[in-house]
Structure 1
Amino acid sequence: MCRIAAIISEDKPNLPARIAQMTQAMQHGGPDDTGHYVDDELPVALGHKRLSIIDLSSGGHQPYFSNDGQLVLSFNGEIYNYLELKKELREAGYSFRSDSDTEVLIYAYAEWGTDCLSKLEGMFAFVLIDKRKRKVIAARDHAGIKPLYYGKKGGDLYFSSEIRGISAIDQGWPQNTQWPVWFLSFGFIPEPHTTLQNVWHLPKQHYLLYDLDTRQYEIRCYEKFIFTSDIQSYDEAVSAVRETVTQAVKKHLIADVPTGVFLSGGIDSSILTIAAQQMVPEQLKTLSIYFEDEAYSEKYYQDLVIRKTNVAHRSYKVGRGEFVESLPDIYKAMDQPSTDGINSYFITRYAREEGLKVVLSGLGADELFGGYPSFKRTGNTSMAARLHLLSHVLPFGQLKYPQRKGAYYRKNRWYNDYLVNRGLFIPRDVAAMLNISQKEVNEVLASLPPLQDSGKVEQRNRTSQLESELYMQSQLLRDSDVYSMWHSLELRVPFLDKKIMQLVHRMDPVVKFNGSIPKQLLIDAFKNELPEEIWKRPKQGFTFPLETWFRTIPAFENPRYIPVRWQKEFSKKRINYSRVWGIFLLKTLGDRFPAGETDCSKSPDRLFMYLAAFSRTGGIEKVNRALLKAFEDAQPGQTDAYSVYDNFADQRYFPRSMFNGYNGNKARFMWNMLTKPVPWKHIVVGHINLALAARILKWRKKDISFTIMAHGIEAWPKVGGFKKWLLQNAAIIAVSEYTRKQISANNNIDLSAITVRHNCLDPFFSIPPIGKRPDYLLKRYGISPGEKIILTVTRLSDQEKYKGYDKTIEALSNIGIKENIRYLLCGNADTAEKSRIEELILSCNLSDRVIMPGFIADDELEDHYRLADAFVMPSKGEGFGIVFIEAAACGTPVIAGNSDGSAEAVLQGNGGYLVNADDVRQLQETIEKVLGSVLDREELGRQVQKAFSFNKYKNNILSHFSETNPPIHGD
């Protein structure tokens, strides 16, 4: 059991540092050894953190190399049939230098290629470099026991055992904006989704094959479990289950370190304990948890098994104090949000304290053999119909949460039955919490990929599918892996052995789910060994007295974390603790754990109200993000944020607990300005179009003061009404001297009332390696390495014809070497403008020279800057122009107009070239000059990065607010 990482990237000089960062972030999962490998020729790096289980010697060090050095492997997990495979490979002529299963795996691939995957019995995730074939293979086991994430950003591909491994090398990795919908609906994020944009789980039973020559990859299935009715005899099934489970336990005990069993007192752990004790020569170690509250204690049943097996058992008492004290570490360990798994945190911690490195768990038996109440409810259409009816005719306030779940049936989803059984919040409540419409929630939920053959499966098998593929796969297994590895412990799950899963899929459901007792088949297979009280008892999950304990957490009384409505629902016992825990995680995940914070009487002194920062892309939005982060970095928890258009805040910039988003609902935004308390002393207005909201706040609180952010054309014209009032009664921060002068001249504002604070690079702007063009973009656009490239990135709007890209096309048509130049004109275009520009391109005979790829995603923006020989945008209407400093920070020479705020972005020509935006000839000559010059792009990048760094901006912008609040000039 280990933690693995891999990177495929053209940025070879930085690969050693980046792979080290990824692996170090997962140190807890592999404290025994560390290994890194960066290939000399191929753009690949592997990382490994080892938890030694089999062959504790240095012979198991990874990344592991084949004898000829052509195969390199980073492997997480265990191959339980490695000895059988080793024998087969020896007969095929392979020799071995270690006793590790890692070496067997690398030669299994050498012999059988990817066909080896179907031969493996175990739990695994690995990344392998095949240098001879110039391929990279990443694979995940048959049951998805071991996690493997893969993420794409620009031309790079990353693999990691945990999301934190990917976050460690790029803190600016964008959030997946849909994750809150998934999480609030399920209580976890169902595979393949994660909290990060373009980062997914590699599906179980699949491998990813990456071609290092074409830079393309595909994901292929190597194994499927299909439900059949091959086994129809109950006696045959009983015998087969007993034999297969026994053999699975035997295989799962293979280890060179202390091994134990989690003994809860239930059927599954009791079977494992009884079977394991018969197979080990020494006294088997088992452990369990108990509580002061007898209602949650299973000690009586645990003692029955202990007396029968004479195992060396240790029980650990968990009390409220320890639980509260451990919450920050539970929170830190989580990696991805989940409302479950707290029990796994404690039992795995105690196992490690007991000196164990491997522990067997009964996870999986309920899903395969019908242990959950959901199996009894299968096919109960009358209950579903009643729930559906109740959801329409009764007020929600009169229903406890289980009855509200009939709302799930309002939409036809393949997993509605699962949500009725286990869902967290219904779409109506999810929409309300996220300030989005139910339609948006349902659109996200409708996108979950369906199960294979999900419509053709018998109802009880279908329930088994839902419990396995959703609850077990995305919550139980993930939580168990995260928390066990947090404590450097390998958790094994014998009931998910491949042969057991193959067996249960071959059984007729009448045989498999026989009788009225849950897991009757499994019980009958081990009835002679199981104490009768064990299998006759009602099922009880592995639970804590969390319902009681969560009521005593101070932070849960703070409405910033748990809104008052849900606090009331919890106090009236209309919702359980998992829903409150889910809301808390939504508000805080990614931030520090707010232990002990109950004082909500003191509100922040500052409100920043703005249009958008996270829901749209543009210069003003980037300024708003930088402001949010600057406020929070300087004074954590001292600024509230209200957004007209955002519905969600990216926690990297600003805490969600301090954020209110209105998702474009302007009426609701204004209503809250009229009715909500006004505790703030100072309001930062992010856009002049919010002048009415500012005036309302002033009417309601006379001693409030304002600062207005002035960007560009929105603030330049002469204004009247509320906008005029705001300019006259607020301190003004202009993004450029040009904007400052325009406001002063057009609105008769004294220049001394306007402060200039130049914009900055995004705090998470990633500076790529300067000088080397991204091959994947050259291939995408069909550009040869010898061609020159000029680039513009902007919005192409019929209403904004001042950007100068039409002049750039005209200039390009006059350049003598134009056949060796490509022009990438990037950005969304409205229909009228696109038509105008296409006609211009045609008239200039440049159809094969100008490429209009449309919108460029943030994860590829820096690579596009790096691709270009020059960034050209001779605009006449820029307040500043963040794209100029982004391009120059990447070492790309910039050509901008000299009549607006662009000049300040290019340091008055010291960080670029300035031209008369109307002089096509001058623009042509400047383009020719830049393309014909040899420039020190690295020096340019350093100069601009220093001049427009976020830290410099933060200090400058905060200096304004550190002074006494600006005077109020009038009412």
Structure 2
Amino acid sequence: MSRALAHRGPDADGLARRGPAVLAHRRLSIIDTGSAANQPMDLPEAGLTIVFNGEIYNFAVLRTVLEGRGHHFQTHSDTEVLLHAFAEWGTGCLERLVGMFAFAVWDQRRRVLTLARDRLGKKPLFFALRGEGIAFASELKALRLHPFVDGSISSRAVSQFLSLGYVLGDACILDGVEKLGPGEVLEVGEAHVERRSYWNLAAHFQAKRRFTSRDAAMDELGELIDTAVRDRMVSDVPLGAFLSGGLDSAMAVEAMARSGRLGGIETFTIGFSERGYSEAAEARISADALGVRNHAHHVDAAMAGILPAMVHAADEPFADTSMIPLWFLSEFARRHVTVCLSGDGGDEAFGGYVTYAADRIHQMTRWIPGWAAASGGRILDAVVPATHAKVGWDYKARQFLAGHPLPFPQAHYSWRTLFEGDAKTALLHPDRRAAVLACRPFDSFARHFQAVEGCHYLDQAMYVDIKTWLADDILVKVDRMTMAHSLEARAPLLDHRVVEFAAALPVDWKLRGLTTKYILKEAARRRLPARVIDRRKAGFNAPVAHWLNGGLAELARGVTLGGPLLE
């Protein structure tokens, strides 16, 4: 199991048996790279042992507090601070942490194992719980090696994958395996199992803040972003940033420059030869405006041999094509740095997706009869051929018209679906069809909608997207593709303090009319050129349609029409 995770930690490995518990760790050394900070790490006086994946950004502040309470430290690592924090406050330490993490603490005296995951789910944690014990790992490829996991396929996960292109956090492609949810803690003892949440983002959507002015809110937002970026620049190894040419990554890089980092800032961009997909030119404009060095790398369809490695890295079935450019971007950046900051999270926290505009139009046009929308969709199908454009207007129109007759929650869900109804049925083998179709992915969305029932419909949409699309697609993609190359990605816009601030904002400060990310854009005007802020949102997609009709055509036909499978 440990060897299966060597890519996540190529710098050191450790294995420890403490009574009935066996803990293994692979280390990517970021803070205090000395061997004394390797894991598993023990705190003998408390009878505790920890394995930990991630970073605690406020570890220096916590260390000072703990020293004041009589704790003594042997290293300068955040792991040791986390271990002492657990000894001092137990699971109450989770509310004090600023960071991304998945960790396990074994308490030898109480014979209790505690698993915990960060608030937004940046770091993964899979587990299999049986009567005789528990097995867990950062990735499914490691956990499936344990005898608790028999390898049978979950119909629920297959249903979710076909509908959404990814598997939600309340399922796993392998039966009997669970994922600890974002902001959850699990305690397993000899006589009890307790699983609970320690963070309630819904409460921040429900308790809207009152600001003296919009300018005051923008001042606070700027300070929060500066703090989040500064916290994430603590590193004892080379650090850089992803730069796409869009607003969110530019905001992160601008804050890095604002911090006065010595030695310059290295940024990294991926590009494609297909028109409309490459952001290399826009990233160059942003880099020049910010005064940072930019390195661009171009990718084409001559990468068929890499696809099996990407599939292996993803673990579960995963159909977000942006995993392809991120794979190459991560590999390219890792040649220069070990840590990269990114702009992930801005769209979910501040309302940046066109789907939120679709939600608003849906509310404004509910008076249109369902038959009229359905007729419009049929006319569009007959008159306008499908294109290879990056999320072209025709695709958006088809999705909108198909979902328009539905009530709001189902309509919002439909904006992101791939296969539903007859199309989904046609893909399934008769032997599995009934079991898969009996599992409705929307039921998982419905539970999240219920958590923010009574909130503005756009707040509901953003909360649900944070709990589904962000946690189970975006952050999965980022973690697997970066860690496949032993690169750590840090997302300042997903600092929980920034996300809580955004949740408590008035809806019209996030989506003003049909203008997305309104307050973030207005705050950015104090820092960035207008051409960076106002450029059309492009998205981080690969030109897969072009490749499947070109350089990948033979491979695609072979895999889908009964040819040899990828190995």
Query: What TM-score do you get using the length of structure 1 for normalisation?
Result: 0.53
Give, in angstroms, the shift of residue 159 of structure 1.
1.1
CA change 1:304–1:69 in 2 (3 A) is: same
Matched, 1:561 2:542: no
Give, in angstroms, the shift of residue 77 of structure 1.
0.4
Q: 1:75 touches 1:127 (CA, 8 Å); kept in 2?
A: yes
Gapped runs of 5+ residues in structure 2? 387-394
What do the CA deviations read for 1:263-297 (whole angstroms, capped 9, x no partner)? 11100111111111232111111110122234223
User: Partner residue of 2:18?
Assistant: 39
User: Partner residue of 1:155?
Assistant: 132
User: Partner residue of 2:501?
Assistant: 503
CA change 1:391–1:155 in 2 (3 A) is: farther
Question: Structure 2: how far apart are the matches of 1:38 and 1:531?
Answer: 56
Question: Structure 1: how far apart are the matches of 2:344 and 2:480?
Answer: 15
Question: Structure 2: how far apart are the matches of 1:542 and 1:407?
Answer: 24
Which AA in structure 2 matches 1:460? L
CA change 1:202–1:511 in 2 (3 A) is: same
Match of 2:298 among 312, 317, 320: 317
Helix, strand or coil: the match of 1:295?
coil
Q: 1:64 touches 1:103 (CA, 8 Å); kept in 2?
A: yes
Match of 1:266 among 246, 259, 266: 246
User: Partner residue of 1:967?
Assistant: none
CA change 1:493–1:562 in 2 (3 A) is: farther
User: Partner residue of 2:306?
Assistant: 326
Give, in angstroms, the shift of residue 301 of structure 1.
2.2
Helix, strand or coil: the match of 2:144?
helix
Q: 1:289 touches 1:316 (CA, 8 Å); kept in 2?
A: yes
Q: 1:38 touches 1:46 (CA, 8 Å); kept in 2?
A: yes
User: Partner residue of 2:389?
Assistant: none
Q: 1:259 touches 1:359 (CA, 8 Å); kept in 2?
A: yes
Q: 1:75 touches 1:126 (CA, 8 Å); kept in 2?
A: yes
Give, in angstroms, the shift of residue 206 of structure 1.
1.1
Matched, 1:61 2:61: no
User: Partner residue of 2:329?
Assistant: 347
* 1:265-664 alignment runs, 5 A limit: 265-279=245-259, 280-321=261-302, 323-340=303-320, 341-353=323-335, 355-379=336-360, 380-381=362-363, 388-389=370-371, 398=381, 403=398, 415-434=409-428, 435=430, 441=437, 443-445=439-441, 447-448=443-444, 450-451=447-448, 453-514=451-512, 516-552=514-550, 553=552, 554-558=554-558, 561=560, 593=566
Matched, 1:121 2:101: no
Give, in angstroms, the shift of residue 440 of structure 1.
5.8
Q: 1:407 touches 1:426 (CA, 8 Å); kept in 2?
A: no
Helix, strand or coil: the match of 2:440?
helix
Question: Structure 2: how far apart are the matches of 1:149 and 1:386?
Answer: 45
Helix, strand or coil: the match of 1:26?
helix
CA change 1:530–1:562 in 2 (3 A) is: farther
Q: 1:73 touches 1:126 (CA, 8 Å); kept in 2?
A: yes
User: Partner residue of 2:169?
Assistant: 191
Moved over 4 A (4+): 382-388, 390-402, 404-412, 436-440
Give, in angstroms, the shift of residue 376 of structure 1.
1.1
Match of 2:194 among 218, 242, 245: 218
Which AA in structure 2 matches 1:535? I
Helix, strand or coil: the match of 1:68?
helix
Question: Structure 1: how far apart are the matches of 2:366 and 2:513?
Answer: 23
Helix, strand or coil: the match of 1:175?
coil
Match of 1:234 among 190, 214, 226: 214
Which AA in structure 2 matches 1:557? R
Which AA in structure 1 matches 2:309? D
RMSD: 2.6
Gapped runs of 5+ residues in structure 1? 1-21, 564-587, 595-971
Which AA in structure 1 matches 2:179? H
Helix, strand or coil: the match of 1:281?
coil
Question: Structure 2: how far apart are the matches of 1:309 and 1:493?
Answer: 19
What do the CA deviations read for 1:384-436 (whole angstroms, capped 9, x no partner)? 78695368668799567763776668887x85233321111113211221136
Q: Which has the higher contact order (CA 8 A, sep 6+)?
A: 2
Question: Structure 2: how far apart are the matches of 1:111 and 1:141?
Answer: 19
Helix, strand or coil: the match of 1:261?
strand
Helix, strand or coil: the match of 2:119?
coil
Helix, strand or coil: the match of 2:451?
coil
Larger Rg: 1
* 1:877-956 alignment runs, 5 A limit: none
Identify which range, 339-348 or 228-237, moves more after superposition.
228-237
Give, in angstroms, the shift of residue 513 of structure 1.
3.2
Match of 1:97 among 69, 74, 77: 74
* 1:725-736 alignment runs, 5 A limit: none
User: Partner residue of 2:392?
Assistant: none
Query: What TM-score do you get using the length of structure 2 for normalisation?
Result: 0.89
Question: Structure 1: how far apart are the matches of 2:145 and 2:372?
Answer: 47
User: Partner residue of 1:5?
Assistant: none
Question: Structure 2: how far apart are the matches of 1:148 and 1:259?
Answer: 25
Give, in angstroms, the shift of residue 342 of structure 1.
1.5
User: Partner residue of 1:168?
Assistant: 145
Q: 1:28 touches 1:488 (CA, 8 Å); kept in 2?
A: yes
User: Partner residue of 1:24?
Assistant: 3
What do the CA deviations read for 1:510-559 (whole angstroms, capped 9, x no partner)? 2343464322211222213211111111111122222201223213224x
CA change 1:407–1:200 in 2 (3 A) is: farther
Give, in angstroms, the shift of residue 235 of structure 1.
1.5
User: Partner residue of 1:203?
Assistant: 181
Question: Structure 2: how far apart are the matches of 1:377 and 1:258?
Answer: 41
* 1:699-848 alignment runs, 5 A limit: none
Aligned residues with identical type, % of pairs: 29
Question: Structure 1: how far apart are the matches of 2:222 and 2:348?
Answer: 17
What do the CA deviations read for 1:678-717 (whole angstroms, capped 9, x no partner)? xxxxxxxxxxxxxxxxxxxxxxxxxxxxxxxxxxxxxxxx
Q: 2:284 touches 2:294 (CA, 8 Å); kept in 1?
A: no
User: Partner residue of 2:50?
Assistant: 73
Question: Structure 2: how far apart are the matches of 1:454 and 1:193?
Answer: 22
Helix, strand or coil: the match of 1:270?
helix
Question: Structure 1: how far apart are the matches of 2:405 and 2:161?
Answer: 20
What do the CA deviations read for 1:90-132 (whole angstroms, capped 9, x no partner)? 0000010000000100111111111110000000000101122
What do the CA deviations read for 1:925-968 (whole angstroms, capped 9, x no partner)? xxxxxxxxxxxxxxxxxxxxxxxxxxxxxxxxxxxxxxxxxxxx
User: Partner residue of 1:620?
Assistant: none
Which AA in structure 2 matches 1:51? L
Matched, 1:249 2:229: yes
CA change 1:397–1:308 in 2 (3 A) is: closer
Question: Structure 1: how far apart are the matches of 2:420 and 2:74?
Answer: 57
Which AA in structure 1 matches 2:95? S
Question: Structure 2: how far apart are the matches of 1:415 and 1:513?
Answer: 18
Question: Structure 1: how far apart are the matches of 2:513 and 2:256?
Answer: 28
Helix, strand or coil: the match of 1:38?
strand
Q: 1:454 touches 1:462 (CA, 8 Å); kept in 2?
A: yes
Q: 1:260 touches 1:286 (CA, 8 Å); kept in 2?
A: yes
How many correspondences in the alignment? Answer: 539
Helix, strand or coil: the match of 2:327?
helix
User: Partner residue of 2:111?
Assistant: 134
Q: 1:136 touches 1:209 (CA, 8 Å); kept in 2?
A: yes
Q: 2:101 touches 2:122 (CA, 8 Å); kept in 1?
A: yes
